[in-house]
Each structure stands twice: as C-alpha cells, then as structure tokens.
Structure 1
Amino acid sequence: MADRSDELALFGGEPVITLPRPHEVWPPPADPAELAALAAQRDDDISIKGRCGPIARFETEFLEFLEGRVRHAVTFNSGTSALFAAYFALGVTEGVEVVGPALTYHAALSPVYALRGSVVLADVDVQTRGISPAAVRAAITENTRVITVVHQWGHPCDMDAILRIAEENGLRVLEDCSHAHGSRYKGRPVGTFGDAAVFSLQANKAVFAGEGGILVTDDRAVHDRATLLGHYRDRSREEIDDESLRRYWVSGFGLKLRMSPFNAVVASHALAAFPERKEARHRCLRYLTDRLADVDYIEPVHVCDEVDMGAWYGYKPLYRPKALEGISRGTLIAALRAEGMEVGAPSGPRLATLPLYCAEANPLFPEARYLPNRVRPGTNAEFVEAHALSLPTFYRWPQDKELIDHYVEAFHKIHRHRVALAEYDTRSR
C-alpha cells in the first residue's frame, strides 16, 4: 500500500478514505423474489389474525433456524413488545426484581417498568461485554425472579455460569438475542438456553423485518401467557392449551402487539439470506481483526474460544489512550472521521445514567414499589462505555477488503501523527 504519511486530514491534509459514507449500507436491497412476495401478499391478505400465512411460515422457519431446540415461537410488532410479553410470561409484577446488565440497549430491561417491577443492574464482563456471573450472584435478593442476559453486540454470555446461578436460586432466565442471530455458545444456538428468549427483527439487525420481534420458548406456560399479552381472537383460541387462560381468547389481555404479514415476508427472506451474509461478514471482520493487531492503541474485538459470533452487531474494539499520548476518544474519533472513516462511540450509555433507571419513582406508576439504580464508578461497564469505538459491520466480501485496508491505514496514519494530534487535543480541552 502506498505511503500516506501526509498531514492529518483534520489539519487540512488529504483523507485516507475517499469512499463517501455510509460504508455499511444495511439492510441490503430486496431481490425480485422478495418484492414479488410482498406484492402478492398485498392482494392475498393484509391483516392476518391467526397463526397462518407468512406469520406461520416465518415462525416455523425460525424454530428450524434454532435447530428445533425450542418448540414455540410467537411474533410481535417489535423486539420491545416481545420482551414485554416475555417478562409478563415469566411472572414479573410489582415487587419483583430483574437482574440485568449495566451496559446494554435500554429496551432489554425497560419493559420491566411497565409491569411495575424493578431492575437491578449488574456489571458486565470486559471480554464478552455481557453480564458478569459474579456480579449477577452479588445482585440477587429475596425479590429476584429473573436474570436477563443480553448477548451484547453478538457475543454470547457465559451461559453455563448463568444457568448454574439460576438453578441454585430458583430463578428464570431470559435471553435477549437481539444482537446475536446465529451466535452459538459451545456449539448451541443462543436463544435455546433460557426459559424464554427474544430476537429483535428491527431493520439494523442481521435478520430483519423492518420492525418486529420474535419470542421463543420451550415452556408451554410461557408461550400461552406471552401469546395472550399481544394476540387475541383466532390465534389465542387456537393456540392456548391452558383452559384457565383460553377463556380470554376473545380479548387476550387487552393489547394488540402482533406482527404485520408484510414484516413476516421480509423476515423470511432475510432469514433465508442469513447464512451467506453471515459467512461474508465473518470473513470481513476476521480480516479486520487480524489487520488491527498491528495497531497498538486499538484492542480488537475478543471472541472467546467457546463461542461463534453469528451475526455480529457492529464492530466494537476498545481504545487504549495510553498508547496514543493520552489523546481523548473524542479527538481520536474526530481525526478518524476527517480521514473518511465511519466511526463513533457506541450509542447506548450505562443504563444507570438514564432517568428511567435512576429516578426515585416509576414514571408510569409513581405509587409502585420501585428500586432506583445508582451510577457506580470504576466498573467494567464504565470502562467499556468510555473506551469502545463503533465501526461498520462490514459484510461484502471481497468487495470490502480494500475499504478495510484503508481503515487500518487511517489508524496507522493517526499513530504517525500522534504528537501533533496530542498537542491539538490539549489545546481543545
């Protein structure tokens, strides 16, 4: 590669990367077969009320995707709705505590508040970015009923340890797999370990519906309660086993959270295309990881030996400021963006910094028993929040190989000019 040791673009030099952003264009455009299926669905049925048509097909396909390790799947209009149904089905109510990760997307735990429950935040593991089993154990009280694991950014949590803690304490386990379609822990698909699991199908996900979510479980009671929370009439009458619950079939539990058939069509096509896209994404990100090994101020994403990252969800390396003259992450990001890179800090802050999680009262039910969280310094969650970078989830192989090379060269260019950039950073503070 040609030497590009000219002046930093932040100071008026030529940028390393000239391809216009965005560099990750997702979701990919629809192929003719998907467009034809959407058009046919328009004239066939645009308001499916039961488990039939594209809804039934997608749910069946998703269970096959999970290798038949769970028996039940229920679609919803969003991953958040599916999580709401899962928490309800697992018995979250006022006075119940749910232990979940301190650093993740807010919706992984926010439905707990709509059920008048409380969230207890536990620290994360720096390598997996998921909840720390030791922190989970320390957070459990007599009011804990559920442990929520989020396979953050696609990396599975330590499920052996989590399941052991749950069994010892009589707790239920909910897996949020919204980032982790196709990820595996010790050869087994995530989403098949807990009492229930939820996959978001929002447009940025590897398997996408536009908007949507799917709840999977091997527990018939969880299926019945979750179904009644978001579905009514045909599906509830036909699908509910429990006689005491089936009597609600006309109304369900008063909500309508079901998926549109159009979203199900899109999701089926995304699921069918997933294996090929996953393989291309893996090749891109393995190559990026290998190339970043020579950039001493970047810690590439660590993938534990016992896991398969499946979809990935962004590429989130850690910044080591001591190896770059102590330059602030903000200045580094500005310099990299000037070089043409699509880069930022991950968008999700620690949950304890959000009003919903730290307010003195539940904003929906101020009279409910409520356990506010406090920001704790010196945690792994704080470290990851402060040091992570967010890069594109490259997925076009081999087309993206040259672009990845340019990204790595931009990192090297910053290092060559670190002294000048450090002086700029000091003046900017």
Structure 2
Amino acid sequence: MSTDELALLGGEPVIRQPLPHEVWPPPAGEDELAELARQRNTDISIKGNAGPVGALEEDFLRFLDGRVRHAVTFNSGTSALFAAYFALGVREGAEVIGPALTYHAALSPVFALRGDVVLADIDPATRCLDPKALEASITERTRVVTAVHQWGHPCDMDAVLDIAGRHGLRVLEDCSHAHGSRYRGRPVGTFGDAAVFSLQANKAVFAGEGGILVTDDAQVHDRATLLGHYRDRSRDAVLDAQLRAFWVTGYGLKLRMSPFNAIVARHALAAFPARKQARHRCLRHFGERLATVPYLEPVHVADEADMGAWYGYKPLYRPGALGGVPRATLIEALRAEGMEVGAPSGPRLGTLPLYSSPDNPLFPGADKRPSTPAPGSHAEHVEQHALSLPTFTAWPDDVPLIDAYAEAFHKIARNRDALVRHAATRG
C-alpha cells in the first residue's frame, strides 16, 4: 500500500488532531468572569442603557472611529435588523433589494413589516451584492438596499451609494460577518443610513446573543430605539419630542440586550484587535499554501478591502480540474484526511420557503412578490462550489495544522485519478 494513498481508500490520514479544529468562542478570562459575577450581585435588570450596556455602545462607536453618532443594542442581530428596517421606512408593499446568497436573517425581518424582498445576484469575486444586478432590480416600490458584507468582504460601497443616491433609496449595511472590515480605509457600518452588527456567539465580536444598530441619522436612531426599548431608554435617549411622547410604551416591543451579554461583548471587543491580527496572519499563510492547489479558486480580497474579522475561509471548488468529482465526494475525501470541512450552511435565499412562497406566512392572505436571479447566476455558482473551512486564529500555534490542511488538499490532487475512479464506481 502506498503511504500516499487517500485515507478514503484505505490510506493513512494527513491530519491527526482531533476535531473540532475551530473552537469558538474562546474561553473567558478571569477578569471577564469576575465582572459577570459582580454584575450578578449588583443588578441583573435592564435599565435604559445604564452600566455595561451603555459602556458597550460607547465602545462600539469608538471602534467605528467615531464616524457615526448613535448606537443602540438589541437582544439579537435579527432584532436589530428588524428595528433598522422599521426605522428606514419599510412598510406594506415596500421592496428591499438584497443579495441572493447570504444568511436568511439579513432580509427576513422585512416580511414581519409586510414588505417584499427582491433578491439580486452577487459579484462572483466579492460574493457581495452586484451593483449592476442591484440597479436592474430597482422598481417604483424599492425603498431600501441591503448591502451585506458577505463573509467579511466589504461591498462595493461607492457603487451602492451612487445607485442609491440616484434613485432616492436608503442603504442598510449588514455587517454581521464583518467586524473590523474596512472599505478604502473606512470602517464598514459607517457608509449607509444605518448598519447592524450581529454579536451572536460565532461572530468575531460576540455577546452570546446580541446585536447593535449604529447610525448617524437621529430619526433612524429614535425610531429604532422606540421599536425595541420602552420606558427609561426611550425617555432619556429619543431626541425628537413628538416621538419621545411614546417613551412609556415605545412601540410595544421589548428587544433589549441583557447586561451580561453586554459584558461578554465588551471583553470580546477589547480582545478583537489582537485576534484580528492573528487571524489575518493565519489565513494569509493558509491562502499562500492553497494557491497552488489546481482545483481550488483562492479567496479573493479586493485591493480596497480589509477583511477585518473574516468569517470562515471559503475558497471555491473547480470540479473540472479534479475530473468532475462531485463536491460532496471531495468533502468526503477531505474529511477522511482528518479535515474540518463542509459546504457553507446558508443556501440561496430563493430556495427557502419563506422567500420563494407567494404568501407571507406571518400575514395569511397577504401576497408577496418572489424575486430571485435566473438559473445560472453567480449566487448559484458560489452556493454549489464553495467550501467552508475553519477560520484559524491562533498564530503561530495553528501553523502546523494549517500546513497539514494544505498537504491534505495537495494529496487529493496527487491522487486525482484514484478519486475519479472512486467517484465513478458510486455513480
């Protein structure tokens, strides 16, 4: 037996380190645990934006270089997006244009406001909303453009803002994957009329569950605040006197962040610069090692982009360079070599019932207009060919594991014919 034989076919695996290889979020330090304990004995209620909640909002505005004036925390990124769409004027019949391939919650709150979602194709290089597809999708009902900085890569904000400006549209940035990402040196989240960052546990800056809305628009701030916060927060923070009249009740919902989540997020935010630097070094090394794998299309980072936190490492598979072996078979072979790998978990939104159905399940009898790119779109290609790999963060400790991953990819290439024969026998 050849020592280079694929593990899938009986050989020895390249990677011996037990799974999982991406352990996230990192364990809490003693200072974080001590602060959580103090908060438990000080105050477990949510009073306006007092204590760690207000401190997190101030920290986040500094994180964005002070380029926006307002930050409002929520109990999830989805709640923050719901508040953002409401504050930007999405109502029954309004259309929101967003990318056809992204996480469903980037656009799903639109349906809770009886709006319609129009899915436009993505740019094959950045995986973000394609400006040409965006402009072609605009109708007289379009009100908002959602620019998702997909997997950490910034959208072409120059083009998005130009199109939105010419058509009188509001721009919402979904930065849930893109903490610390920059476009032409400026932080994402500071370009549009509003922006939302998820702080869910898988994110680079995490609260466990949580989200934060940022804006430089006082009206957006006030309306978003009233949607999710009543009493103290709305009384003290809402600037418009007519809107502040609602302070006792807000708009009837309670979507606030707990102080415990805020403490966790503050510590994650403080640790982010060092983690970002280490992650960049890891993934730069990974990309260099994968550059010569013939059946992979490396992850593209535009010259004007800083990937910030990244969000997974997702090269594209070129099946033609591996004899047409199905992606599922390639993933099976890579897993046999000990790799933590799969296909990205988020399908094209147009394949999901919430988006494809002509009926809005939240409001029976209310029609909505399904809209998605035609077959053969860039979104379909990325969905069907992307691989999802760990976002290595521990530099230099992860270097041996990264090198083993690269060797596993190269081993597959060396055994191309054997894998093709194996795939053929399975039909």
- Asked if Structure 1 and Structure 2 have the same fold, meaning a TM-score greater than 0.5 normalized by the shorter chain, the answer is yes
C-alpha displacement at 1:294, in angstroms? 1.1
Structure 2 equivalent of residue 291 of structure 1: 289
Structure 1 CA distance, aligned partners of 2:359 and 2:157?
Answer: 33
Structure 2 CA distance, aligned partners of 1:205 and 1:139?
Answer: 31
Q: Are positions 1:244 and 2:242 aligned together? A: yes
Q: Are positions 1:340 and 2:338 aligned together? A: yes
Q: Are positions 1:260 and 2:258 aligned together? A: yes
Q: Are positions 1:134 and 2:132 aligned together? A: yes
2:351 pairs, out of 339, 350, 353, with 353
Structure 1 equivalent of residue 31 of structure 2: 33
The code of the aligned residue for 1:64 comes to R
The code of the aligned residue for 1:198 comes to V
Q: 1:5·1:413 contact (CA, 8 Å) conserved in 2?
A: no
Q: Secondary structure, in 3 states, of the residue corresponding to 1:85?
A: helix
Deviations 1:215-253 (A, max 9, x none): 000000000000000000000011111122111111111
Q: Secondary structure, in 3 states, of the residue corresponding to 2:411?
A: helix
The code of the aligned residue for 2:144 comes to V
Structure 1 CA distance, aligned partners of 2:397 and 2:335?
Answer: 21
Q: 2:3·2:11 contact (CA, 8 Å) conserved in 1?
A: no
Q: Are positions 1:406 and 2:404 aligned together? A: yes
Q: 2:118·2:372 contact (CA, 8 Å) conserved in 1?
A: no
> Identity of aligned pairs, percent?
73
Structure 2 equivalent of residue 278 of structure 1: 276
Task: Map 1:308-347 to 2 at 5 A.
Answer: 308-347=306-345
Q: Secondary structure, in 3 states, of the residue corresponding to 1:269?
A: helix
C-alpha displacement at 1:374, in angstroms? 4.7
Q: Are positions 1:182 and 2:180 aligned together? A: yes
Structure 2 CA distance, aligned partners of 1:171 and 1:374?
Answer: 20
Structure 2 CA distance, aligned partners of 1:271 and 1:422?
Answer: 46
Structure 2 CA distance, aligned partners of 1:260 and 1:5?
Answer: 55
Structure 2 equivalent of residue 79 of structure 1: 77
C-alpha displacement at 1:5, in angstroms? 4.8
Structure 2 equivalent of residue 215 of structure 1: 213
Q: Are positions 1:67 and 2:88 aligned together? A: no
C-alpha displacement at 1:138, in angstroms? 0.3
Give the TM-score, by structure 2 length: 0.99
Judged with a 3 Å threshold, the aligned counterparts in structure 2 of structure 1 residues 375 and 169 are, in CA distance, closer, same or farther, namely closer
Give the TM-score, by structure 1 length: 0.98
Q: Secondary structure, in 3 states, of the residue corresponding to 1:372?
A: coil
Q: Are positions 1:48 and 2:73 aligned together? A: no
Q: 1:9·1:338 contact (CA, 8 Å) conserved in 2?
A: yes
C-alpha displacement at 1:24, in angstroms? 0.6
Q: Are positions 1:415 and 2:413 aligned together? A: yes
Q: Secondary structure, in 3 states, of the residue corresponding to 1:345?
A: coil
Deviations 1:352-401 (A, max 9, x none): 00000010110111232411235621100000001100000000000000
Q: Secondary structure, in 3 states, of the residue corresponding to 1:272?
A: helix
Q: Secondary structure, in 3 states, of the residue corresponding to 2:83?
A: helix
Q: Secondary structure, in 3 states, of the residue corresponding to 2:405?
A: helix
Structure 2 CA distance, aligned partners of 1:143 and 1:263?
Answer: 38
Structure 2 CA distance, aligned partners of 1:428 and 1:82?
Answer: 47
Structure 2 equivalent of residue 302 of structure 1: 300
Structure 2 CA distance, aligned partners of 1:246 and 1:240?
Answer: 6
The code of the aligned residue for 2:324 comes to G
The code of the aligned residue for 1:356 comes to L
Q: 1:71·1:218 contact (CA, 8 Å) conserved in 2?
A: yes
Structure 2 equivalent of residue 89 of structure 1: 87
Q: 2:231·2:247 contact (CA, 8 Å) conserved in 1?
A: yes
C-alpha displacement at 1:12, in angstroms? 1.6
Q: 1:94·1:369 contact (CA, 8 Å) conserved in 2?
A: no
Structure 1 equivalent of residue 426 of structure 2: 428
Q: Are positions 1:372 and 2:348 aligned together? A: no
Structure 2 CA distance, aligned partners of 1:287 and 1:185?
Answer: 22
Q: Are positions 1:206 and 2:204 aligned together? A: yes
Q: 2:100·2:373 contact (CA, 8 Å) conserved in 1?
A: no
Q: 2:53·2:259 contact (CA, 8 Å) conserved in 1?
A: yes
Q: 1:149·1:157 contact (CA, 8 Å) conserved in 2?
A: yes
Q: Secondary structure, in 3 states, of the residue corresponding to 2:284?
A: helix
Q: 1:94·1:368 contact (CA, 8 Å) conserved in 2?
A: no
Q: 2:206·2:268 contact (CA, 8 Å) conserved in 1?
A: yes
1:108 pairs, out of 106, 109, 117, with 106
The code of the aligned residue for 2:391 comes to T
Structure 1 CA distance, aligned partners of 2:20 and 2:68?
Answer: 38
Structure 2 equivalent of residue 394 of structure 1: 392
Q: Secondary structure, in 3 states, of the residue corresponding to 2:339?
A: coil
Structure 2 CA distance, aligned partners of 1:34 and 1:93?
Answer: 41
The code of the aligned residue for 2:390 comes to P
Structure 2 equivalent of residue 146 of structure 1: 144
Q: Secondary structure, in 3 states, of the residue corresponding to 2:41?
A: helix
Structure 1 CA distance, aligned partners of 2:9 and 2:71?
Answer: 54
Q: Secondary structure, in 3 states, of the residue corresponding to 2:8?
A: helix
Structure 2 equivalent of residue 269 of structure 1: 267
Deviations 1:120-149 (A, max 9, x none): 000000110000000000000000000001
Greater than 3 Å deviation, 4+ residue runs: none
Structure 2 equivalent of residue 381 of structure 1: 379
Structure 2 CA distance, aligned partners of 1:325 and 1:124?
Answer: 27
Structure 2 CA distance, aligned partners of 1:109 and 1:374?
Answer: 13
Q: 1:201·1:267 contact (CA, 8 Å) conserved in 2?
A: yes
Q: Secondary structure, in 3 states, of the residue corresponding to 1:137?
A: helix
The code of the aligned residue for 2:18 comes to P
Structure 1 CA distance, aligned partners of 2:310 and 2:117?
Answer: 27
Q: 2:120·2:372 contact (CA, 8 Å) conserved in 1?
A: no
Q: 2:119·2:373 contact (CA, 8 Å) conserved in 1?
A: no
